[in-house]
Amino acid sequence: LAKTTQPISMDSYEGQEVNITCSHNNIATNDYITWYQQFPSQGPRFIIQGYKTKVTNEVASLFIPADRKSSTLSLPRVSLSDTAVYYCLVVGTSNTGKLIFGQGTTLQVKP
Amino acid sequence: GAVVSQHPSWVICKSGTSVKIECRSLDFQATTMFWYRQFPKQSLMLMATSNEGSKATYEQGVEKDKFLINHASLTLSTLTVTSAHPEDSSFYICSARVEAGVGNEQFFGPGTRLTVL
């Protein structure tokens, strides 16, 4: 399972765009990049998943360069309710299905 | 997306007692579920993989006799913390894997807060 590295914490203000970068140098050919969001005392919630280039949904965008050794989660115009921990995971397509969580990035959005 | 529930959402028990936590996939079947624990201000730690109809697979360092896992049906997995002690107090979270999903898509339950007095 590829290890991921992301900043421990980030601060932002309401209305700003937030970009959280994750490093995964040992990503395998069949691995996907997945991001989860977790609020205090709740289970993680799936945000977005991608394999290469750019993926966008109603919540976020995910940018993945050609070498796939890093990825950037982009949250447009954050609000106070986006304050949470964001986890970047590299997910394989093997039968084990294990998800190994790293330390995550604590995003604090200020008014 | 798919919904996973946990019951109870919180439980307080005395030291030495056993506590059972249920994890259900409400609108899909899951042959594989996972159990995590999370201490305050820490990340999720995978405890075990629960497989329907077979024995659970435990991660290194997790006592299988203390954390009993039963996956009796395609929508239900249970975690029993036996002879609980204060150090077992934690936030327990389950997830269920969508078999047809891309990239091992998993959905998480809301978690169960266990406090052992």
For the segment B86-117, what is each residue's pLDDT rounded down to a tens digit? 999 999 999 998 766 555 678 999 999 999 99
Contact B104 A103 (CB under 8 A): no
| pLDDT(A67) > 80 | yes
Contact B107 A46 (CB under 8 A): yes
> pLDDT tens for residues A1-15?
668 999 999 999 999
DSSP conformational letter for A58: S
Distance CA A66, CA B93 (A): 35
Q: Among all residues of chain B, which has the CA nearest to that of A99?
A: B46
E runs forming strands in B14-60: 19-25, 32-38, 45-51, 57-58
* Residue A99: closest CA among B1, B9, B32: B32
- The verdict on whether omega for the bond into residue B8 sits within 30 degrees of 0, i.e. cis, is yes
With bands split at pLDDT 50, 70 and 90, how would you rate the model's confidence at A94?
Answer: low
Provide the pLDDT for residue B104.
Answer: 61
Mean of pLDDT over chain A: 93
* Residue A2: closest CA among A79, A93, A74, A84: A93
Contact B103 A49 (CB under 8 A): yes
* Positions in chain B whose pLDDT score sits under 70: 1, 99-104
| pLDDT(A36) > 70 | yes
Provide the pLDDT for residue B102.
Answer: 57
Contact B106 A46 (CB under 8 A): yes
Residue carrying the six token digits 């405890």: B47
- Put simply, whether A99 touches B (Cβ < 8 Å) is yes
Provide the pLDDT for residue A95.
Answer: 57
Residue pair A107/A83 in contact (Cβ under 8 Å)? The answer is: yes
With bands split at pLDDT 50, 70 and 90, how would you rate the model's confidence at A92?
Answer: confident
What mean pLDDT comes out for the span A56-80?
96
Provide the pLDDT for residue A30.
Answer: 86
Provide the pLDDT for residue B106.
Answer: 86
Q: Among all residues of chain A, which has the CA nearest to that of B96?
A: A97
Q: How far is A15 from chain B (nearest CA, A)?
A: 26
Distance CA B38, CA A41 (A): 10
